Structure 1
Amino acid sequence: GADTIRRARESGPYGYILKPVKDHDLVSNIDSALHRHQLERELRESELKFRTLTEHNNAPVYVIQGEHFVYVNKAFTRLLEYTADECCRMAFWNVIHPDYRQMTKNRGLARQRGEKVPDRYEVKLLTKSEQTLWAELSVALIEYQGRPASLGTAIDITGRKMAEEALRHSEEQYRLLVENANEAIAVFQDLTIRFANRKMSDASEYPIDELIGRSFLDLIHPDDRELVVQNHLLRIQGQDLPGVYSFRFVTKSGEVKWAEINTAFIDWEGKTAVLSFLTDVTERKMMEEEIRRHNQRLEYLLTVAKIGIDIIDEEYNILYIDPAWSKIYGKPDGRKCYEYFMDRDAPCDNCGVPQAIAERRIVIKEEILVKEDNRIVEVHTIPFEEGGRTLAAEFNIDITERKRLEQQLVHAQKMESVGRLAGGIAHDFNNILQAIIGLSHFALSEAAANRPSSEEIEQILTASRRATALVKQLLAFSSRQTMSCEHLDLNTIIGEMSGLLRRIIGEHIELTTESDEDLWSVYADPGQIEQIIMNLCVNSRDAMP
């Protein structure tokens, strides 16, 4: 517990506890705050790496969520001449040429719904100055800030399109175009390089004269050579293969990079050859790998922290479920949350979703997960706005161990109360017995001196009656009976007890009593009042030096 509090003070979540909290809840609350803090830090670090990679990426990169851009890098703004703010305020299909706009819109929305659509295709783009560009879009479905989104690159292939058009006119014109193209272009026959442009030389770090005549496989990473050869042979056989695929290549300095290749058959000096367009996608691959690692880390953190996350709409439909729970419960497959988690036909009586959505506030409730051996979770239901409607994110924190400790604490407190009660009874009886024993010794000494006195005997009987009254009180407490209360004059009670009190505290201590004629009466049990007075005197005596 102390170590948890120390780590919380150092790492930040100590500030999460803003109001008094019970001691037995403190460690559990701080642990929960530490888990949330760790998740938030991982997400911030991942987003920072994502932005660092994309902002320094020469390839135009964008992220689409719903109908709009939510992120574009500098290369994308340079390509289309729009600022990042302008892009994020427009629908993503507004930058697409009308000839390709509807197709791009349909595919973009379908991908976010989880439908299978082509992940690479060519379209025309419109810049802010209304210039037309050709671009090759490479798009993948990702999670961005907890929701489905499309991560894409828009590679300018205007030069390639111009080159393809020029091939139909003149090989010489083609050479001029490809030499100045923005992507690496090579022609090879029987896997031997016959032509390479300047970009191909820059990417491979080989001079053009060293590339000509070299086997194309010399540039391919050993682990990917079989893939490239197999695709080449199948294409020669006329089989329908994806037009674009990725592989690794090795530069002259030994650096490993990723490339995407798009090929077409052409006639080169009277023989069939392969025209290849290669794009360096190393930075994109690094970004995809970072996103994959981020998702793995997030899944691991959620699993270790035992925090299940889901997103529910106002009709109890499950819009998101974290991977850890999918492994336990399977895919939702259109089931309502109460069907999926609880095997119920109707919403749970304790469900916080409708209250959180209706009142626009965080609702905290406890649930028992019957499918997980009655594991107890504390459900924090947090409403948020999306697409014009209010949804609810549920963070399910495992409190099974905390509940077990609370039960142990309640039992320990009960035992402590019993112990205090027994100690109090023993203390009260001890005070009465001291009075009886002291008075008995005094009476014996008087009798031995032939000075019998009935006063001591009366006081012994009085103390014995108090012992009887104490037993009566104990029996009344155990059976929850009411006390025998009456109106009492405290002056009279103290006057009657003064002799007994002097003998109890000893002759070496002076006892002085002061009465007040205007003192009001009290309504109480006489035995309890006498016991209180006796305890005060004995405790005062014991506290004296």
Structure 2
Amino acid sequence: MKVRNRILLLSSLLLLMSVGGIVNLMWQMPRIDQVPDLKAVVYFLIFLGLFGAGLVLSILELVRQEIRSPIFQLAAQIGRIKKRKIDGHHLELTGSKDIDLLTRVLNDLLDGFEKEENLYRIFAEASPDMIYLLDRDGRVLFGNLDAARQWNYQAEEIIGKRQEELFPPDIAERHKQVIQKIFETGQPVLINVHEKIGERHCWIDTRMIPVLNKDGCVTAVLDISRDITERKKAEEALRESEEKYRLLVENANEAIVVAQDGQLKFVNRMAGELTGYSEQELTSRPFHEFIHPDDRGIVVERYLRRLKGDVSQPRYSFRSMTRDGSVKWVEISTILIDWEGKPATLNFLSNITERKEAEEALRESEEHYRTLLEASFDLIYVIDRDDTVQYVNPAALKALGRPAAEVNGKPRALFFPPAVAASQKLSLDRVFATGEPLYVEQKTELAGVAQWQDTHLIPLKSPSGMVDAVLSISRDITERKQMQNLLQQERATLNSIIDLNPYGIQIIDGKGHYLRSNQAFFNMFQSVPPADWCFFEDPIAAKAGFHEAHLAVKEGKTVVNPEVWYNAHWLYPELPDKLICFRSTVFPIMNTESKMEYFVVMFEDITERKKAQEQILASEKLAVIGRLVADVAHEINNPLSIIMSGTQHLEERIRKQISAIPDLEANTRMFEKVKNATNRCKIIVAGLLTSTRPTRLNLGSTDINKVIKESLKSMDDQFKRQNVKVIKALASHLPMIEADGQQLNQVFINIITNACDVMPEGGELRIVTRLQTLEAGRKGKATESHAGSVASPAVEIEISDTGEGIRKEDLSKIFNPFFTTKNDGKGVGLGLSISYGIVKEHGGSISVTSEKGKGTTFIVRFPARI
């Protein structure tokens, strides 16, 4: 503005100066007939130039005001349009006609952009979705009203909010990562997540779309989010509803099938029982193949008509073919449904073969038909549209306590209490209105006697399809109802038995979750399991090594668990410090599909019994120790006596022959006796120590066949001396066992040595190894001592001889310390006792089978590593 004013001032001064100078010059100019002065002419030209310059500046300023300024305003307005800064202001420019025209065009363009932006804004505000426009950092550039309401903001307040201000830290960080990914890839992202918006947790379905400029670069991200929480809840409710209906369908007493595109898309269990075909066979072949050839046409025709919307004849019967080739009559009730987006028919089929055969027989003879009706135990009525009884069979007459003349042709309501009659009327009206059969179960009263009835109401139609009457077939189900009541009473009795049972009882569902227990269980364990307790994850069971028992329970097997010592105080310090010993049995409760639905655990408290057993065992141990001390004293006294006698004898001889040369050979023999007796004392003491102190095992992966071979090799000389033939049947590829090879070598040498001792004149020693998956019972008379419960699989070693065998009365003592059947001096009776202890330390078992005169067999088992 200042420049323009200066230009105007300058041009005005130039014009004034030039005009003043010209006038002054002309005033001083001589007359026309005189020659002008050269100086005056020069001044005249200068002033004339100044005049021209002022005039030009004035004209240029006028042109600028007319053209240049409007053009600058147009450029500024176009810039606002480019930046989408449309505020409804129009241009007010004056100038040339072209500029005026351009102004009008731009104003119209502004109006269009404003309307378009308003339209988009209306769409955004009216949308049920939450709409945001986000920059690269996740800041909100725009948010519609629904988006603002989610955070209790006004629309303008949400602008500029960061993700951290709207969402919890983890969700905000996830959003920012997705936004960054869209800016990098230019690809939209779909997200379906559970989020927290404000104080509300909800499911959100989000579409994040890149906003691109003309160069294809991402300038912002459009976030369109929809709250689908209610839809999720509806889907979950639908799933639960579908599961309930599935159970109803699978346990229905009639076959239920869905037919679509000429095939069965769904069949329940009863459909398979009705036809004899499997579900896969029924759903993989056209359904007409299961229909009798003579009935296929009408069934297919009605099926196609039903698909076209025909609702007539929804219930009819036809013949079906079963797997074994037999023919069954079925009654079908069908309706049109939508199955996976396509029309289909839902069909209920009842096996009416017997009824159809009866109807066929009835058609052959009206009299026979009437006889059957009148002989029926069911109460049969025919009632017309006027609610009048047209026919009643003798069973119904007997129940009503009236003759036929008083019933036929009379209003039905006369024979029932008002409330029952009104309920029956509603059911009859429904059958007349729909033409559909109806099943009703209700309590009624006949001739003053209350009873429960189930009633089938069947429409009787004229050839035109109109229901003229209803056939009512009622059956007295009072006894069934009484049985149901009795069942409820029995259930209550069963609950009482559970609650009052002295055994602890725990009922658990198929997944291992606690359902209920009785008082004895609480008394035993001082508590019930917590809400998150699971039988298959029970720390007590895990500690007791019940893993295999758990697997067996899951397979539906009954399991008897070994005894367990337990103190609830160990796991739950707030409970009493009480140590108990219990034994448990677990057995499954199967459903109709032979799948485990529940299982029951019964606990027997054997604490007092175990204490009594321990007391008895302690007494027996004391008795054994006493016998042991006596035996040891006896065994040691004998060699000591020999030592004492030999010493005295030597002393006497030395005294008598002090001057002579001693008999070296005799003295040598005497000293040998002393040496042998002393060694025997050492053996007895060593055996005593071995049998009374714990064995220290050096466990490692051991090949049982290798140990046996080493044991046999060490005894080769004895086998040759005694003419013992060794027969080996060692199984190949036996699994390794966790054992101390040297200790096992001692076990086998003890057993083999005993076998050789009972075959002094020679015989056969047979050694067999094998893999056993179960503990095998042995026939014959045997004693068996288990050094632990050896579960399958196990490596089994069988060692048998052809000696004289062991007497029946000695079998039970075979593993006792210091028990021996050998002659004096050939053994101290500790070998088998020590072997038993070694096997026990390895978690194995050892047993012996023998009969006098038939040899002896030892079987040793060790747990296998597989």
TM range (shorter): 0.3 to 0.5
Larger Rg, first or second structure (1 or 2): 2
Q: Relative contact order (C-alpha < 8 Å, sep 6+): which is higher?
A: 1
Q: TM-score, normalised by structure 2?
A: 0.24
Structure with the higher helix share, 1 or 2: 1
